[in-house]
């Protein structure tokens, strides 16, 4: 299987979709990982991703042989406030609707950081429960939830623990492994696979 190459619009957050597509096609990319478009990260809010403009966007992507392998959300589930976590789940659901329209297999979400006054165990539980709830919603749309190991839960072992608690087969995957702990990178990667296998998929 040949490797396909995409770029993230994190590198060009203010560009329009026509600009993004034109550059991707000119530089012979295979896909575009959407983080920001026109400075917006709640992509479902943009006219270019709704109604007739969405159809035009999809045609433009198809005409240049481009796919959207991932929608990068700002969803994070570390807040002690249940209403705040619920707000991010709603955001994830809206992004999953768009992902399904674009034929995108996964949403990137964060676990993230321990908030003032909160403890690690409670935060880990909030993250896991929220990811499980979102994954159950997105699964019916054929979209996976991909957690990026980030913030206070960047170490692979901690990410694996969250996933082991949150797992809803087969909709939760690991988005990346960061070398942020003293455990060697190869050992970290093995740890994630050992703890979670065979219940985790890996993003294409």
Tens digit of pLDDT for each residue in 101-123?
999 999 999 988 999 999 999 99
**H-type helices in 71-201, by residue range?**
82-102, 120-139, 156-166, 185-196
- Report the SS3 class of residue 172: strand
pLDDT-derived band at 170, boundaries 50, 70, 90: very low
- Return the pLDDT at 37: 98
Q: Rounded to two decimals, what is the model's pTM?
A: 0.83
Do 47 and 80 meet the contact criterion of CB atoms below 8 Å apart?
no
Numbered ranges of CATH 3.20.20.150 in the chain = 71-204
41-100 residue pLDDT tens: 999 999 999 999 999 999 999 999 999 999 999 999 999 999 999 999 999 999 999 999
Question: Which fold does the domain 71-204 belong to in CATH?
Answer: TIM Barrel (3.20.20)
- Return the pLDDT at 87: 98
Q: Beta strand pairing status for 31-33 and 6-8?
A: parallel
């Amino acid at each position: 299987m040949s490797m396909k190459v995409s770029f993230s619009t994190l590198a060009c957050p203010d560009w329009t979709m026509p600009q993004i597509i034109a550059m991707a096609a000119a530089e012979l990319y295979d896909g575009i990982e959407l983080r920001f478009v026109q400075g917006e990260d709640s992509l479902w809010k943009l006219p270019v991703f709704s109604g007739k403009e969405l159809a035009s966007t999809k045609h433009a992507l198809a005409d240049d042989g481009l796919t959207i392998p991932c929608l990068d959300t700002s969803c994070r589930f570390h807040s002690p406030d249940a209403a705040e976590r619920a707000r991010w789940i709603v955001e994830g659901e809206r992004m999953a609707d768009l992902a399904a329209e674009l034929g995108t297999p996964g949403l990137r979400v964060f676990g993230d950081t321990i908030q003032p006054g909160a403890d690690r165990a409670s935060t880990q539980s909030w993250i896991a429960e929220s990811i499980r709830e979102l994954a159950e919603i997105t699964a019916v749309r054929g979209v996976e939830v991909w957690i990026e190991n980030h913030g206070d839960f960047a170490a692979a072992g901690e990410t694996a623990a969250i996933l082991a608690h949150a797992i809803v087969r087969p909709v939760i995957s690991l988005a990346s492994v960061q070398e942020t702990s003293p455990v060697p990178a190869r050992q970290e990667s093995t740890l994630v696979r050992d703890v979670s296998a065979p219940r985790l998929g890996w993003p294409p």
